[in-house]
């Protein structure tokens, strides 16, 4: 059973918790972290979620566990757990915080050139990983095979990269 902390609309912890999968009370939020890992070729490290988890494509993301207050550290934990990618907080770049009805997502970017075949996957969560271009991801999205929210995250990341130039 995974326990999550509940936050108020100012993204401050309320001291309340909820079991993952339960209905979030009105006006409260749970934190999520997501990251787009990109390489020198302009590709993104995309994972295919395990069949029992939905069998779709997405970027690495996950729930912030109860008691975790450092969202960057939670993102690093998810990267290590799901795909075996080690990184440091100084390598993560916060892109934006997106709010939804019942959750908020801290979206990060991370530069890495790690070969996909060297990553150690959490098989009950991740079926495979591969480096993909924006066009590849867009095609998967049009086919209904890529998580639509995660596609919006990609656009957010690419906008951030454009603004940095």
Model-level pTM? 0.94
Instruction: Tell me how far CA of residue 72 lies from CA of 3, 12, 29, 32, 87, in angstroms.
Output: 19, 16, 18, 11, 11
pLDDT of residue 1: 82
The average confidence (pLDDT) of the chain is 95
Closest CA to 108 of 56, 62, 40, 42: 62
Instruction: Tell me how far CA of residue 119 lies from CA of 53, 87, 164, in angstroms.
Output: 20, 13, 29
At 165, the pLDDT band (50, 70, 90 cuts) reads low
What residues does each domain of the chain span?
Answer: 3-149
Q: What is the pLDDT of residues 38-81, one digit of tens each?
A: 999 999 999 999 999 889 999 999 999 999 999 999 999 999 99
CA distance 60 to 79: 7
Backbone angles phi, psi at 58, to 5 degrees: -165, 180
CA distance 6 to 27: 10
**Contacting residues for 9 by C-beta, under 8 A, at least 6 apart:** 27, 29
Buried b (16+ CB within 10 A) or exposed e, 115-125: ebeebebeeeb
DSSP label at residue 42: S
Instruction: Tell me how far CA of residue 85 lies from CA of 14, 41, 57, in angstroms.
Output: 32, 18, 18
pLDDT of residue 162: 84
Q: What is the pLDDT of residues 18-38, one digit of tens each?
A: 999 999 999 999 999 999 999
Evaluate if residue 96 carries a pLDDT over 70: yes
Class of domain 3-149: alpha beta
């Amino acid at each position: 059973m995974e326990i999550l902390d509940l936050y108020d609309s100012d993204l401050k912890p309320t001291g309340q918790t909820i079991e993952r999968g339960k209905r979030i009370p009105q006006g409260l939020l749970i934190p999520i972290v997501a990251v787009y890992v990109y390489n020198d070729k302009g590709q993104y490290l995309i994972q295919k979620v395990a069949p029992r988890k939905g069998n779709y494509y997405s970027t690495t993301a996950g729930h912030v566990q109860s008691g975790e207050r450092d969202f960057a550290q939670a993102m690093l934990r998810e990267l290590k757990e799901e795909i075996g990618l080690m990184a440091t907080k100084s390598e993560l770049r916060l892109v934006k915080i997106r709010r939804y009805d019942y959750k908020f997502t801290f979206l990060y970017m991370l530069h890495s050139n790690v070969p996909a075949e060297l990553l150690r996957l959490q098989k009950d969560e991740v079926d495979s990983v591969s480096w993909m271009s924006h066009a590849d991801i867009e095609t998967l999205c049009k086919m209904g095979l890529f998580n639509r929210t995660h596609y919006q995250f990609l656009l957010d990341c690419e906008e951030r990269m454009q603004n940095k130039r």
